[in-house]
Amino acid sequence: MDNQPQASPDIFSKTKAYFAQLAMVARFISKTFKEIFLFVKPPHEFDELFKQCFKIGNKSLVLVAITGFIMGLVLTIQSRPVLAEFGATSWLPAMVSISFIREIGPVITALICAGKIGSGIGAEVGSMKVTEQIEAMEVSATNPFKFIVATRVIACSLMVPLLVLFSDACGMLGSLTGINIYGDMNMNLFFAQAIASLEFADFFPAMIKSVLFGFVIGVVGCYQGFNAGRGTESVGTAANSAVVISSMIIFFVDLIVVQLSEVYNTLSN
Amino acid sequence: MSEKVAEIKGIYQSFGSQEVLKNLSLDLYKGENLVVLGKSGTGKSVLIKCLVGLIGIDKGTMTILGKSVETANENELMEIRKKVGFLFQSAALYDSMSVRENLEFPLKRIETNISKSDLELRTVEALENVGLLDAIDKMPSQLSGGMRKRVGLARTIVLNPEIILYDEPTTGLDSITSREISDLILSLQQKYNTSSIIITHDMPCAKHTANRIIILAEGKEIAEGSYEELANSTDSLINSFFKQ
């Protein structure tokens, strides 16, 4: 019996720490939901919400526009030769619009926002933690969770879908530019073809997942900031982890929403 | 003897295997300034953070203004915190807000029906008390260390607390500014009859502000008395705090 391999106490402590971390995340998310549902109750934090909405939208607008435009342009230029082989270049507006609205727009925008907004939230909230500003709110009998977390999560959930729509529009303009580099198509015809190929089922899941992506970016950024350590180094770690973790979760959420929308489409047909 | 406003009985607190507070008991009386002395790492700051429920305790009881802290739920803790002010070592001003907004922040959220004129009046009064009315529209980044501490103090007193907890109020300040902060602590005690726990290493501040002093070592109280009593102690450890 003595020679049987024994589980290392290190494994137990690591497993325990893992589940403790999981419980912390679950508590954080449930508290976030609670504060979001109670957001309209006084004391109101609408000023902070509008400030965060402006900050998030305004901060990412140019980056989202440039990335969207280039993605649309590149997608068109790279798809054109393949479609040309089948004499189907007229399908370019439809192909680009569907792929952009369904997948490229939401995912690329969410990843940009994870990098830009998520890291910003992680660093800002992390530095508030390090400089005891969060504790100062707590001891003055105010609710830091509502002021810091709920406002940022709601702002992200509202602004990311709007940024996705903006990115989609820029992507379509990029595609129009790409088509006109090698051929000739006027704007009205391009948009008529692009819009005609789209259905409600293309927009709806994309918008749902954009809201979820925004929620993920806000929650992960705030969680990492709220749980930053004591030193200034932890601010950088919080910002970095916010980007890495939210990017990973964005892909998982994307996968789940795509699968669910496929199931829905199959059942409704 | 005047009434007790805070009572700590046999508290223990630890971070993992490291015991910070060991069977610590103390009382705070109405209108007194209690100074807590001790080397770094003896649990002084942890003690006052436990008192406002920022850090939980492992064992023992804590009562503030007749209400139990360790058994309080979130709402009860909020009620306790409304009556207890806390000045952080770093002042912990909200960087993204001006001095005015820093003071208005807790007021607007606790007194949700406060009128604009009352808000202005209370903010101005608190800043006048700390002599910083001129800085009302400045950002925290534009303030010196001493000014930040004063604004932190103004943010604490704007809620009219019955108890104020000071976490090393003079650390990092020059001797003149330290003296000004000590004077401010005394004047607030006299003006509002507040009770205070002052955590400090600064002996001039302790001498100037203390009605009573306790000394902590390794999470336990090792001595209690007035400044003069402790300064004349024959115990070498106690005496070491008072050597200039």
Taking an 8 Å cut-off on Cβ atoms, the answer to whether B109 and A132 are in contact is: no
User: Can you tell me the distance from the alpha carbon of A43 to that of B100, in angstroms, rounded to the nearest whole number?
Assistant: 18
For residue A3, what pLDDT is reported? 55
- Sheet of B4-15: strand order equals B18-29, B4-15, B59-64, B67-68
Helix (H) or strand (E) holding B146: helix B145-157
> What would the two tokens of residue A55 be?
């900050």
User: Can you tell me the distance from the alpha carbon of B188 to that of B222, in angstroms, rounded to the nearest whole number?
Assistant: 29
Task: Tell me the pLDDT tens digit for each residue of A174-224.
Answer: 999 999 998 888 889 999 999 999 888 888 999 999 999 999 999 999 999
In a 10 Å sphere around its CB, with 0-12 CB exposed, 13-18 middle and 19+ buried, how is residue A142 labelled?
A: buried
* Interface pTM, i.e. ipTM: 0.89
Helix (H) or strand (E) holding A191: helix A187-196
For residue A209, what pLDDT is reported? 95
> A138 in contact with B at a CB cutoff of 8 Å?
yes
Computed over its alpha carbons, how large is the radius of gyration of chain B?
18
Q: To which residue do tokens 């806390």 refer? A: B86
The CA-based angle B88-B89-B94, given to 5 degrees, is 55
> B227 in contact with A at a CB cutoff of 8 Å?
no
> B195 near B5, Cβ under 8 Å?
yes
- Of B6, B151, B116, B117, whose CA–CA distance to B66 is shortest? B6
Q: Which of A42, A132, A140 minimises the CB distance to B112?
A: A42
Please tell me whether the peptide bond between A161 and the residue prior to it is cis, using omega within 30 degrees of 0: no
Task: Tell me the pLDDT tens digit for each residue of A44-85.
Answer: 899 999 999 999 998 889 999 999 999 999 999 999 999 989
Taking an 8 Å cut-off on Cβ atoms, the answer to whether B112 and A43 are in contact is: yes
For residue B1, what pLDDT is reported? 53
For residue B197, what pLDDT is reported? 95
> A43 in contact with B at a CB cutoff of 8 Å?
yes
Tell which wins on pLDDT, A6 or A187.
Answer: A187
Which residues make beta-bridge pairs with B199? Answer: B36, B167
User: Can you tell me the distance from the alpha carbon of A130 to that of A123, in angstroms, rounded to the nearest whole number?
Assistant: 10
Query: Is 3.40.1360.10 the CATH number for B1-83+161-175+195-244?
Result: no
> B15 in contact with A at a CB cutoff of 8 Å?
no
Q: To which residue do tokens 């001095």 refer? A: B99
For residue B195, what pLDDT is reported? 94
Computed over its alpha carbons, how large is the radius of gyration of chain A?
23
- Of B169, B237, B163, B155, whose CA–CA distance to B199 is shortest? B169
Taking an 8 Å cut-off on Cβ atoms, the answer to whether A133 and B82 are in contact is: no
pLDDT at A9 over 70: no
Task: Tell me the pLDDT tens digit for each residue of A135-175.
Answer: 999 998 888 999 999 999 999 999 999 999 999 999 999 99
Q: What are phi and psi of B86, to 5 degrees?
A: -140, 120
- Which residues from A are below 8 Å from B156, CB to CB? 140
CB atoms within 10 A of CB A247: 17
Taking an 8 Å cut-off on Cβ atoms, the answer to whether B95 and A133 are in contact is: yes
> A119 near A242, Cβ under 8 Å?
yes
The CA-based angle A195-A265-A164, given to 5 degrees, is 45
For residue A1, what pLDDT is reported? 44
For residue A102, what pLDDT is reported? 93
Q: Which of B85, B94, B108 minimises the CB distance to A43?
A: B108
The pLDDT tens digits along chain B (244 residues) read 578 999 999 999 998 888 889 999 999 999 999 999 988 888 899 999 999 999 999 999 999 999 999 999 988 999 999 999 999 988 899 999 999 999 999 999 888 888 999 999 999 999 998 888 999 999 999 999 889 999 999 999 999 999 999 999 888 888 888 898 899 899 989 988 899 999 998 899 999 999 999 999 888 888 899 999 888 888 888 888 887 5
The amino acid present at B145, given as its one-letter code, is G
Task: Tell me the pLDDT tens digit for each residue of A223-267.
Answer: 999 999 888 889 999 999 999 999 999 999 999 999 998 898 888
> B125 near B159, Cβ under 8 Å?
no
Taking an 8 Å cut-off on Cβ atoms, the answer to whether A140 and B54 are in contact is: no
- Of A261, A48, A4, A1, whose CA–CA distance to A151 is shortest? A48
Q: Min CA distance, A140 vs chain B (Å)?
A: 6
Q: Min CA distance, B42 vs chain A (Å)?
A: 18
Taking residues A107-116, report their average pLDDT: 95
Taking an 8 Å cut-off on Cβ atoms, the answer to whether B110 and A140 are in contact is: yes
User: Can you tell me the distance from the alpha carbon of A257 to that of A141, in angstroms, rounded to the nearest whole number?
Assistant: 40
Q: What are phi and psi of B39, to 5 degrees?
A: -70, 170
User: Can you tell me the distance from the alpha carbon of A210 to that of B103, in angstroms, rounded to the nearest whole number?
Assistant: 38
